[in-house]
A and B are shown apart, each in its own frame.
Chain A
Amino acid sequence: MRSGELPGTLPRGVVFPSDHDAVVHVVRYAVEHGIPVVPYGAGSGVLGGSVPLSNELVVDLKRLNCVKVVDTFNGLVTVGAGINGGQLESLLNAQGYTCGHLPQSLNMSTVGGWVACRGAGQASGLYGKIEDIVLGLACVLPNGETLRIQPLSHRSTGPSLRDLLVGSEGTLGIITEVTLRIWRQPECEIATVFALPDQAAGLELCRQVVQSELRPSVMRLYDLRESAERTKGLSAFDQRPILCMLMFSGPRRVIQEESAMAGEIAAAVGAAIAPDDPITHWRNTRFDSYSARRQSADEYMDTIEVVVPWSAVSAFYEATEQLARSIHPEMHFGAHWSHSYSESVCQYMTFRLPRMPQAQGLALHAATWDGVCRLALVWGGSIAHHHGAGAFRGPWMAQEHQCGMQVLQSIKDSMDPDNLFNPGKLGLRPRPNAVRMGYVASGVES
């Protein structure tokens, strides 16, 4: 785009439905006339999920931004899918609540986008990813019917239809309404900054914390490069250069105990408590996006988030760092780990190439994606933790899902026989006239 070229194709039009029924009308019209559609929220996704590939009709959902019910008794909020995330959170905070989903993109994304892309927030350690927070939804299916899923967290009535829609990125339906869990805002927070002797100690700290059934709202571990960027001038990191920040949020008595237990684990792996500066800075900038300055300087910057088992994370990190060096000697590579589970952890990587001819930059960029996705699968991981698949991760979806990809394609074909709903995304079959858009390196089969 910065060279004046269009990603994908222009849409054949953009419609702005004001409510669910209007979306139904749009879908029925589109199906009747064989017009493919792409749902659109705020466009903050980084995988091209909302980019038209074959002159689709874009269905901009931002007018569906009402707050239907704040049900504090059951701990639920029901909203239109197009509401801005930051506006929803502010509204809930004013009533003493939070929905607990606080992605960096909070102020530039919609609730429907969170659900459609299976996103994660910075407090996922306490509240979970969006699939743990969304309980109910309404969506318009490709046949024009409305599917409503009642907001109940658990049931035993077959496979979860909710999970079929959460992460479907508009390929199986257009989500128009979402019901999320809400929680009282935490009574207090206890944040601690640790300096660790090395990365292995940091990973061990994180693994032991989650496997000890502690639930920090925030636990962020940085590799050496990202630690150095955040700890300049702090002598506490001279001998222990690795930064880890832990925050517990909730009832004071509970989190005092949790924080103390985490402190014991930290001490056992050689950590020392450090000044609060890094977490103060993080709090102040946690919803900012810093990529625009790099992009406007004509650098080639991207972030890739994958999830790998604890047993593989160190080897995977070394492999990805080596990959970056092998692709270009001046490539910036940094990583952090900010979503931890009992069995696995998300490694969030930043790759950045200096200014260079566009063809070369894009080729190296594609090679980086190919290498990282392949390595994630080799080490028993998943190619995506919370950014979704969109258009760009399509080439590796079949490698991840194996024969499961055919299951997904069969579901898609059954629900959307004319392939009209966001065609060509998630690695699903594109329309015949679709442009090819993706980080396709040589040797990658789409």
Chain B
Amino acid sequence: MSAANVRACSLTPSQVDAMSSLRLCMLCPAQCRRFWERSQPEQSEVITPSSLAMLAVFVAQDVIVLDESVRQALQRRDMAKVCRAGCPHDLDVAGSIDCLVGERLEAGAR
């Protein structure tokens, strides 16, 4: 069993589902990205659903530290919300992030 799976043992069933969705998203090459208009001023990779999913998974697995920069990045969900309409896997990335690491994000913000 991998280290990631060992950590997953402490997750609730809904968090396991969220983890599964986010792992799928982080390994997807962001087919939904064309829904993000080219007129949008920010065109960076860090706001793509795949990047947010990766950050959330890595936070949940304690691969990266949930510092202020990561917390802020995980709150930037405009692209994830817009691109939900174009997700071939019908994922709700923003909702899955809240489910998986929402409490930790809120705790960090306090």
A and B are interacting partners: yes
Cβ contact within 8 Å between B43 and A65? yes
Question: With A42-B33, A84-B33, A287-B31 as given contacts, are A3 and B23 in contact (CB-CB < 8 Å)?
Answer: no
Question: With A16-B43, A40-B45, A62-B44 as given contacts, are A288 and B31 in contact (CB-CB < 8 Å)?
Answer: yes
Stretch at the interface among A188-196, A291-299, A416-424: A291-299
Cβ contact within 8 Å between B38 and A65? yes
Interface size grouping (class) on chain A? 20 to 34
B73 at the interface (CB under 8 A from A): no
Q: Return chain A residues, CB-CB under 8 Å to B65.
A: none
A residues 86-114 near B (Cβ < 8 Å) are 86-87, 90, 105, 107-108
Question: With A107-B33, A296-B23 as given contacts, are A4 and B63 in contact (CB-CB < 8 Å)?
Answer: yes
A289 at the interface (CB under 8 A from B): yes
A63 at the interface (CB under 8 A from B): yes
Size of interface on B: residues with Cβ below 8 Å to A: 27
Q: Return chain B residues, CB-CB under 8 Å to A44.
A: 29-30
Question: With A4-B3, A4-B61, A289-B28 as given contacts, are A63 and B33 in contact (CB-CB < 8 Å)?
Answer: no
Pick the contact of B28 from A83, A86, A87, A292 — CB < 8 Å? A292
A39 at the interface (CB under 8 A from B): no
What separation, in Å, do the CA atoms of A198 and B59 have in the docked complex? 51
Cβ contact within 8 Å between A288 and B3? no
Q: Which of B20, B25, B29, B86 has the most chain A CB atoms closer than 10 A to its own CB? A: B29
Q: Write the chain B residue with the least CB distance to A295.
A: B27
Question: With A84-B34, A289-B29 as given contacts, are A62 and B43 in contact (CB-CB < 8 Å)?
Answer: yes
B residues 2-48 near A (Cβ < 8 Å) are 2-4, 20, 23-34, 38, 43-45
Q: Which of A3, A66, A291 has the most chain B CB atoms closer than 10 A to its own CB? A: A3
Q: Write the chain B residue with the least CB distance to A91.
A: B38
B108 at the interface (CB under 8 A from A): no
What separation, in Å, do the CA atoms of A347 and B35 have in the docked complex? 32
Specify the main secondary structure of chain B where it touches its partner.
helix
A43 at the interface (CB under 8 A from B): yes
A411 at the interface (CB under 8 A from B): no
Q: Which of B20, B31, B44, B58 has the most chain A CB atoms closer than 10 A to its own CB? A: B31
Nearest chain A CB to B22 CB, angstrom units: 9
Question: With A296-B24, A358-B2 as given contacts, are A87 and B34 in contact (CB-CB < 8 Å)?
Answer: yes
Nearest chain A CB to B106 CB, angstrom units: 24
Pick the contact of B34 from A43, A82, A107 — CB < 8 Å? A107
Pick the contact of A2 from B27, B30, B34 — CB < 8 Å? B27
Q: Return chain A residues, CB-CB under 8 Å to B61.
A: 4
Cβ contact within 8 Å between B20 and A87? no
Q: Return chain B residues, CB-CB under 8 Å to A288.
A: 31, 88
Nearest chain A CB to B47 CB, angstrom units: 11
A1 at the interface (CB under 8 A from B): yes
- Digitize A52-89: 1 where CB-to-B-CB distance is under 8 Å, 0 elsewhere: 00000000101101100000000000000011111100
- Digitize A1-37: 1 where CB-to-B-CB distance is under 8 Å, 0 elsewhere: 1111000000000101000000000000000000000
- Digitize B71-93: 1 where CB-to-A-CB distance is under 8 Å, 0 elsewhere: 00000000000000010110000
What separation, in Å, do the CA atoms of A86 and B44 have in the docked complex? 17
Cβ contact within 8 Å between B31 and A82? no
B52 at the interface (CB under 8 A from A): no
What separation, in Å, do the CA atoms of A105 and B4 have in the docked complex? 29
Cβ contact within 8 Å between B43 and A2? no
Q: Return chain A residues, CB-CB under 8 Å to B33.
A: 42, 84, 107-108
B105 at the interface (CB under 8 A from A): no
Q: Return chain A residues, CB-CB under 8 Å to B31.
A: 107-108, 287-289
19 more CB-based (< 8 A) A-B contacts, given A84-B33, A86-B34, A105-B29? A1-B26, A1-B27, A3-B2, A4-B4, A4-B63, A14-B45, A16-B43, A40-B45, A42-B29, A60-B43, A83-B38, A85-B34, A107-B32, A107-B33, A107-B34, A287-B31, A288-B31, A292-B25, A292-B28
Q: 13 A-B contacts, Cβ less than 8 Å apart?
A: A16-B44, A40-B45, A62-B43, A65-B38, A87-B38, A90-B34, A107-B34, A108-B34, A287-B31, A289-B28, A289-B29, A292-B24, A296-B23
Please list the residues of chain B having a beta carbon within 8 angstroms of any beta carbon in chain A.
2-4, 20, 23-34, 38, 43-45, 54, 58, 61, 63, 86, 88-89
